[in-house]
């Protein structure tokens, strides 16, 4: 045993006093630090990661007195920073050490934040946005010069977002200010730990970076809710499972119920309360509820007052709740890493297995749940890789760098390429981004006289005036909130059809917030679910939406926006394999296996490497249904592109609907006949070149591009989210962003921000990357099955018609229909 | 398509202009030229291309209709200073357009001051029994105005679309904003309240290449 020798006596005594022994991975982190290396520690929750991260700091501060900032702890959640500060202060006090530990978040009083800049604590716990702010001051050189360690928590969650990109740039900057600094990163298990190791190694290339793994941890116990009840074909409410879930909640101490969307959370919460005769303390937690309401739920949870919480990804990360003994995933698990992360929210003791229950809400999801159970049993990881650098984020960083003092472009370029997401950034792109920050980067040099950055006589770049720095600091960060409106409960005015905007009583209790976008899709009188009750939309005034209690038992608008996370490619592959392997169906519930048998007899089963395309007539239309299993976003993009091509092939498509698993297109043309007679070739229809011109043509008009552009433009500083003295409302930003996009795209489609938007859209809302992979995989492997009616496998996606938004030319034609109607009226029809 | 208004016949164009064939006159409202560049002085470098795009749109309409007179119904420039900040290229295009036809600039709340660009600068313009001016008002008879940037949203069979529109009753017509950088406002919002006699209101929406007269029953807020 070598470890007692390495621990400082004060710390060793503290461990002994507790009757604990340090864990091996905690000592490994210390050893890496003492060897002068950075380290990435991969450990499951409950493994004592906090102590592992800070053991080197405590040791170093005991052994060597240190002036100024010693260790910076950065977490994605401010609640986590505050919690870790608490967990750290206790052992420091017990060891009798004198060192200052402070947090710095958006909630920290301005006076303290000011003081922290010239009189910093030894250990500062904060978020990526605060680091960017601190770095934008000229005194960052002194503040960070003394820094010896950075501890990055939940790195796996940070690196897949723009926040991670911003953080990587900040770390590259700090590495220049403090060459002695070493990084310790803490992460959950990921698919490719090597990438994360490189991510932390690159900023300080002179130091090695070790990859450390915590061993142990009991494998989780995962099961699927068994049922004799009839499983629905489609839908996401999981209403069938509510009685069983209620009994399960009763049998456990505390249950966390995860769902994929806010509306599912609302629905499940309401259904559970409808049968809550025992008055169990069941709470609701999602991103639209007011902050106070969420804090209330969280503290009730910490006190152990709750029996269950229905929640969305808002509780994926966060502080430890020791009392949770069951995690339930309602609806598709989407990916095995995500599932493992959620399971990890139960039972934070390392040596006991965490318990989780999967509840599919429809038949397809049964397959996905089975695939997830197998993947979790094999501990297979399918987490996303770190993202590569967005130009919008870099633009923000360049401006921040200028706010801190004049810089040399060559130096900054070298520094930026030591941030992992930007390691392959070409110099020409960097120069364009610099030009964008200075004058907007337009080919028409219109704004030289308003430049935000100017060259000094020595050739350095500096900000043109102090207002620029002030504006930068108000707009820092990459988290863009969707424009939200407040929802107020008012007395109903008894909605009458045809009534226009009469006055509605204003005031009334605030229920929470919701995306403004949702209200552009509904009209007064529509009912929907919010805060666990059914409400009727009464009207809007400025940024408030008014609703009244509705009598309805079923909301008219399901407001199901689809899962935010697409089915991972890994799980999708497993699902296809399962479908193609009838021997494996024995594990499935009888009704699901029976359904697949029917499909095999009536049509064919989708192959693992091929794409099944079915065509059939139904009522007055002809349908094409295909089963790529690539997620809703990729299917929507595919649907948009296929309808364009079918239009050209004179198949007269009318619209389409996409689900997570399949895509259905309908139209007037007889698709089976077109294919049989060779007038339509499926290989050509699904050929990869649709990602060329057709995609370009479609992007011209795509609302999704505009929404993506808005985010890029805000992050890059083209549109401000806040002005000194006055807040812009989300609506104003949205309106102008659309217009700016149109003008810019029409005139300079190659502008750096349009490039940034394309990159984001390709991996985000349009999921073009994934669609491209899919088209490559199925090339020459398309199986066409003409049918005389709908197939069993097509039933779920066909049921989505009418519930999901329909795409295609339907919008312009709505106006034409309204005009036709008027014409008939005029003709007395 | 024609709009009959106050005893005259007008042809609305899908661009948002209104052509008065009997007078060979083209009407446009709310060009808001130089809107984007006006943000640059505050450090917001919006694309400097909106003026060029609006002028090209206008050039097409002038050439296609062969109009002899153009009336801009105010807010032609986003700010008075806009007349000075025009790029050389845009200035040249505007000069070319002013050579093609006679221009009448009506003043708006964004550009109250007269300028020296050419053409006549007026507060309002009376012609053939009609009055053309920037801001609409209820009391007038036969008034064509802009200012409000009207838009309509219709709902049909669960689908909805929102577009700029011409809106009129027997006494007042409000034209849509013509400039590429202009936003718009639903005609059901309070700013329009009391302006029109609701029972006789006519709404003509701008489609991609044509216009649609829609039933006011179909209008929804938002």
In a domain, A594, yes or no: no
Q: CA A518: distance to chain centroid?
A: 19
Among chain B residues, the shortest Cα distance to A816 is held by B212
User: Does B54 contact chain A (CB < 8 Å)?
Assistant: no
DSSP element (H, E) containing A413: helix A409-416
If one counts every other C-beta atom within 10 angstroms of the C-beta of residue A817, the result is: 18
Contact state of A815 with B44 under an 8 Å Cβ cutoff: no
Q: Indicate if the pLDDT at residue B18 is higher than 90.
A: yes
User: pLDDT class for B16, splitting at 50, 70, 90?
Assistant: very high
pLDDT, tens digit, 9 for 90 and up, residues A16-55: 998 988 889 999 999 999 999 999 999 876 667 888 999 9
Q: How much of chain A, in percent, has pLDDT values that exceed 90?
A: 50
pLDDT, tens digit, 9 for 90 and up, residues B144-153: 999 999 999 8
pLDDT at A244: 93
Q: Indicate if the pLDDT at residue A485 is higher than 90.
A: no
What CATH number matches the domain at B3-218, 2.60.120, 1.10.8, 3.60.21, 2.60.40? 3.60.21
In a shared domain, residues A428 and A498: no
Phi (first) and psi of residue A281, to 5 degrees: -80, 90
User: Does A499 contact chain B (CB < 8 Å)?
Assistant: no
User: pLDDT class for A821, splitting at 50, 70, 90?
Assistant: low
pLDDT, tens digit, 9 for 90 and up, residues A275-320: 999 999 999 998 777 778 888 888 888 888 999 999 988 888 776 6
Per-residue buried b or exposed e for A245-278, using 16+ beta carbons within 10 Å of the residue's own CB: bbebbeebebbbbbbbbbbbbbbbbbbbbeeeee
In a domain, A46, yes or no: yes
Q: Indicate if the pLDDT at residue A409 is higher than 70.
A: yes
Least confident of A103-107, A347-351, A632-636, B129-133: A347-351
In a shared domain, residues A197 and A115: yes
More confident residue, A507 or B212: B212
Average predicted confidence (pLDDT) for chain A: 86
Give CA angle at A743 (A738, A746), nearest 5°.
120
Contact state of A440 with B48 under an 8 Å Cβ cutoff: yes
Interface test with A, best of B2, B43, B90, B163 (most A CBs within 10 A): B43
Given the structure tokens 């229950």, which residue do they identify? Answer: A357
Q: Indicate if the pLDDT at residue A616 is higher than 60.
A: yes
Q: Indicate if the pLDDT at residue A461 is higher than 90.
A: yes
pLDDT, tens digit, 9 for 90 and up, residues A626-663: 999 998 888 988 988 898 889 888 888 887 888 889 99
Q: Indicate if the pLDDT at residue B211 is higher than 80.
A: yes
In a shared domain, residues A495 and A632: no
Domain count, chain A: 5
| CA distance, residue B44 to nearest chain A CA (Å) | 6
pLDDT, tens digit, 9 for 90 and up, residues A93-115: 999 998 999 999 888 999 999 99
**Closest partner residue to B46 among A523, A718, A811, by Cβ?**
A718
Contact state of B215 with A471 under an 8 Å Cβ cutoff: no
The torsion region of residue A435 among left (phi > 0), alpha (psi -120 to 50) and beta comes to alpha
Q: Indicate if the pLDDT at residue A602 is higher than 70.
A: yes
- Containing domain of residue A528, as a range? 484-549
User: pLDDT class for A564, splitting at 50, 70, 90?
Assistant: low
Cβ-Cβ contacts under 8 Å, B155 against chain A: 523, 814
| CA distance, residue A562 to nearest chain B CA (Å) | 19
How far, in Å, CA of A398 to CA of A401, rounded? 5
User: pLDDT class for A4, splitting at 50, 70, 90?
Assistant: very low
Interface test with A, best of B31, B45, B166, B220 (most A CBs within 10 A): B45
In a shared domain, residues A109 and A124: yes
Contact criterion met (CB below 8 Å) for A72 and A126 = yes
pLDDT, tens digit, 9 for 90 and up, residues A693-718: 778 777 766 667 887 898 899 999 99
In a domain, A566, yes or no: no
The two structure tokens encoding residue B122: 């007026």
User: Does B163 contact chain A (CB < 8 Å)?
Assistant: yes
More confident residue, A705 or A156: A156
Q: Indicate if the pLDDT at residue A500 is higher than 80.
A: no
Contact state of B215 with A818 under an 8 Å Cβ cutoff: yes
Beta strand B130-133 pairing with B159-168: unpaired
In a shared domain, residues A439 and A522: no
pLDDT at A813: 61
User: Does B194 contact chain A (CB < 8 Å)?
Assistant: no
Contact state of A815 with B222 under an 8 Å Cβ cutoff: no
**DSSP bridge pairs for B212:** B205
In a shared domain, residues A733 and A611: no
pLDDT, tens digit, 9 for 90 and up, residues B57-87: 999 999 999 999 999 999 999 998 888 889 9
| CA distance, residue B52 to nearest chain A CA (Å) | 9
In a domain, A720, yes or no: yes
Q: Indicate if the pLDDT at residue A13 is higher than 80.
A: yes
User: pLDDT class for B102, splitting at 50, 70, 90?
Assistant: very high
In a domain, A597, yes or no: no
Q: CA A1: distance to chain centroid?
A: 44
Domain range summary for chain B, segments of one domain joined by +: 3-218
Contact criterion met (CB below 8 Å) for A479 and A161 = no
In a shared domain, residues A23 and A130: yes
In a shared domain, residues A250 and A169: no
pLDDT at A170: 98
pLDDT, tens digit, 9 for 90 and up, residues A790-799: 999 998 888 8
Q: Indicate if the pLDDT at residue B33 is higher than 90.
A: yes
Contact criterion met (CB below 8 Å) for B154 and B144 = no
Contact state of B221 with A540 under an 8 Å Cβ cutoff: yes
In a domain, A803, yes or no: yes
How far, in Å, CA of A184 to CA of A187, rounded? 10
Cβ contacts of A280 within 8 Å, gap of 6 or more? A249, A250, A307, A308
Interface list for A 467-486 with B (CB within 8 A) = 467-468, 471
Q: Indicate if the pLDDT at residue A1 is higher than 60.
A: no
pLDDT at A552: 66
More confident residue, A528 or A80: A80
Closest to A792 measured CA to CA, from A631, A550, A607, A605: A605
Cβ-Cβ contacts under 8 Å, A740 against chain B: 36, 46-47
pLDDT, tens digit, 9 for 90 and up, residues A713-735: 999 999 877 544 444 444 444 45
User: Does A815 contact chain B (CB < 8 Å)?
Assistant: yes
In a domain, A823, yes or no: no
pLDDT at A232: 82
pLDDT at A172: 98
DSSP element (H, E) containing A193: helix A193-201
In a shared domain, residues A171 and A284: no
In a shared domain, residues A633 and A721: no
In a domain, A819, yes or no: no
Interface list for B 80-109 with A (CB within 8 A) = 87, 89
In a shared domain, residues A328 and A440: no
Q: How much of chain A, in percent, has pLDDT values that exceed 70?
A: 87
How far, in Å, CA of B198 to CA of A571, rounded? 57
Closest to B65 measured CA to CA, from B33, B26, B12, B119: B26
| CA distance, residue B183 to nearest chain A CA (Å) | 7
**Closest partner residue to A743 among B41, B181, B188, by Cβ?**
B181
In a shared domain, residues A246 and A371: yes
| CA distance, residue B136 to nearest chain A CA (Å) | 21
pLDDT at A501: 43
Cβ contacts of A611 within 8 Å, gap of 6 or more? A626, A627, A628, A686, A778, A781, A782, A783
Contact state of A718 with B217 under an 8 Å Cβ cutoff: no
What average pLDDT does the segment A765-776 reach? 86
Closest to A131 measured CA to CA, from A117, A118, A119: A117
pLDDT at B99: 96
DSSP single-letter state for residue A801: B
Least confident of A81-90, A322-331, A361-370, A482-491: A482-491
């Amino acid at each position: 045993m070598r470890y007692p020798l390495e621990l400082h006596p004060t710390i060793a005594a503290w461990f002994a006093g507790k009757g604990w022994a340090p864990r091996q991975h905690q000592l490994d982190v210390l050893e890496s630090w003492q060897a002068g290396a950075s380290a990435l520690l991969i450990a499951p929750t409950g493994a004592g990661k906090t102590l592992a991260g800070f053991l080197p700091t405590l040791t170093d501060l005991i052994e060597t007195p240190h002036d100024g900032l010693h260790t910076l702890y950065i977490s994605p959640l401010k609640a986590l920073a505050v919690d870790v500060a608490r967990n750290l202060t206790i052992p420091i006090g017990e060891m009798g050490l004198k060192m200052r530990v402070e947090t710095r978040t958006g909630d920290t009083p301005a006076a303290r934040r000011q003081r922290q800049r010239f009189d910093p604590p030894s250990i500062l716990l904060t978020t990526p946005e605060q680091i960017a702010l601190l770095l934008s001051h000229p005194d960052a050189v002194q503040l960070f010069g003394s820094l010896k360690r950075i501890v990055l928590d939940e790195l796996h969650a940070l690196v897949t977002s723009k926040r991670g990109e911003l953080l990587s740039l900040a770390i590259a900057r700090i590495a220049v200010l403090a060459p002695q600094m070493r990084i310790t990163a803490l992460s959950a298990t990921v698919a490719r730990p090597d990438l994360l190791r490189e991510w932390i190694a690159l900023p300080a290339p002179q130091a090695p970076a070790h990859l450390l793994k915590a061993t142990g941890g009991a494998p989780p116990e995962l099961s699927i809710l068994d049922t004799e009840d009839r499983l629905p074909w489609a839908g996401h409410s999981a209403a069938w499972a509510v009685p069983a879930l209620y009994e399960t909640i009763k049998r456990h101490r505390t249950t966390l119920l995860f769902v994929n969307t806010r509306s599912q959370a609302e629905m499940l919460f309401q259904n559970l309360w409808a049968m809550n005769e025992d008055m169990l303390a069941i709470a609701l937690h999602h991103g639209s509820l007011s902050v106070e309401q969420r804090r209330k739920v969280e503290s009730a949870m910490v006190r152990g007052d709750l029996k269950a919480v229905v929640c969305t990804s808002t509780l994926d990360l966060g502080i430890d709740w020791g009392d949770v003994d069951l995690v339930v995933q309602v609806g598709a698990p989407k990916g095995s890493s995500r599932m493992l992360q959620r399971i990890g929210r139960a039972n934070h003791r390392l040596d006991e297995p965490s318990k989780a229950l999967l509840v599919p809400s429809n038949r397809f999801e049964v397959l996905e749940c089975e695939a997830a159970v197998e993947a979790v049993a094999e501990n297979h990881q399918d987490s996303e890789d770190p993202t590569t650098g967005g130009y919008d984020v870099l633009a923000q960083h360049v401006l921040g760098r200028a706010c801190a003092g004049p810089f040399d472009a060559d130096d900054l370029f070298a520094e930026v390429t030591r941030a992992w997401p930007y390691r392959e950034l070409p110099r020409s792109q960097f120069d364009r981004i610099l030009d964008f920050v200075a004058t907007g980067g337009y080919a028409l040099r219109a704004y030289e006289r308003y430049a935000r950055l100017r060259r000094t006589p020595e050739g350095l770049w500096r900000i043109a005036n102090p207002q620029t720095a002030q504006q930068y600091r108000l707009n820092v960060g990459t988290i863009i909130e969707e424009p939200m409106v407040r929802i107020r409960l008012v007395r109903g005015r008894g909605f009458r059809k045809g009534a226009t905007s009469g006055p509605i009583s204003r005031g009334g209790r605030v229920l929470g917030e919701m995306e403004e976008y949702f209200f552009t899709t509904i009209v007064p009188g529509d009912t929907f679910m919010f805060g666990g009750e059914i409400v009727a939309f009464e009207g809007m005034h400025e940024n408030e939406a008014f609703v009244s209690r509705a009598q309805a038992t079923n909301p008219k608008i399901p407001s199901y926006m689809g899962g935010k996370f697409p089915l991972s490619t890994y799980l999708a592959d497993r699902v296809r394999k399962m479908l193609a392997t009838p021997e494996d169906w024995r594990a499935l519930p009888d009704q699901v296996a029976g359904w697949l048998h029917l499909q095999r007899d009536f049509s064919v089963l989708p192959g693992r490497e091929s794409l099944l395309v079915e065509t059939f007539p139904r009522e007055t239309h002809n349908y094409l249904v295909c089963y790529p299993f690539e997620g809703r976003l990729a299917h929507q993009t595919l649907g948009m592109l296929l309808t364009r091509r079918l239009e050209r092939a004179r198949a007269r498509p009318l619209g389409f609907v996409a689900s997570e698993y399949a895509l259905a297109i309908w139209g007037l043309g007889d698709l089976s006949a077109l294919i049989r007679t060779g007038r339509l070739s499926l290989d050509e229809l699904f050929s990869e070149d649709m990602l060329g011109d057709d995609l370009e043509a479609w992007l011209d008009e795509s609302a999704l591009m505009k929404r993506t552009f808005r985010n890029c433009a805000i992050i890059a500083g083209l549109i401000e989210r806040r002005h000194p003295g006055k807040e812009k409302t989300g609506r104003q930003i949205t309106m102008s962003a659309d217009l700016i996009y149109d003008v810019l795209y029409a005139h300079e489609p190659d502008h750096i921000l349009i490039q940034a938007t394309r990159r984001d859209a390709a991996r985000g809302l349009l999921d073009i990357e994934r669609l491209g992979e899919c088209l490559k995989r199925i090339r020459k492997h398309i199986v066409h099955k003409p049918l005389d009616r709908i197939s069993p496998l097509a039933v779920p996606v066909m049921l989505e018609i009418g519930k999901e938004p329909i795409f295609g030319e339907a919008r312009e034609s709505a106006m034409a229909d309204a005009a036709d109607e008027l014409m008939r009226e005029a003709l007395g029809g | 398509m024609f709009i009959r208004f106050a005893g005259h016949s007008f042809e609305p164009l899908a661009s948002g202009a209104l052509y008065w064939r009997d007078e060979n006159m083209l009407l446009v409202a709310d060009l808001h030229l130089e809107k984007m560049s006006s943000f640059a002085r505050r450090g917001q470098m919006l694309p400097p291309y909106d003026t060029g795009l609006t002028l090209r749109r206008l050039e097409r309409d002038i050439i296609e209709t062969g109009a002899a007179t153009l009336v801009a119904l105010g807010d032609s420039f986003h700010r008075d200073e806009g007349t000075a900040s025009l790029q050389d290229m845009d200035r040249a295009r505007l000069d070319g357009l002013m050579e093609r036809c006679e221009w009448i600039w009506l003043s708006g709340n964004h550009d109250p001051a007269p300028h020296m660009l050419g053409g006549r600068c007026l507060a309002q313009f009376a012609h053939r029994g009609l009055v053309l001016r920037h801001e609409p008002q209820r009391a007038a008879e036969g008034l064509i105005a802009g200012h409000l940037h009207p838009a309509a949203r219709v709902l049909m069979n669960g689908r909805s679309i929102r577009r700029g529109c011409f809106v009129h009753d027997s006494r007042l017509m409000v034209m849509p904003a013509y400039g590429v950088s202009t936003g718009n406002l639903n005609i059901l919002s309070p700013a329009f309240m009391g302006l029109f006699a609701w029972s006789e209101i006519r709404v003509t929406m701008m489609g991609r290449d044509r216009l649609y007269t829609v039933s006011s029953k179909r209008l929804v807020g938002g």
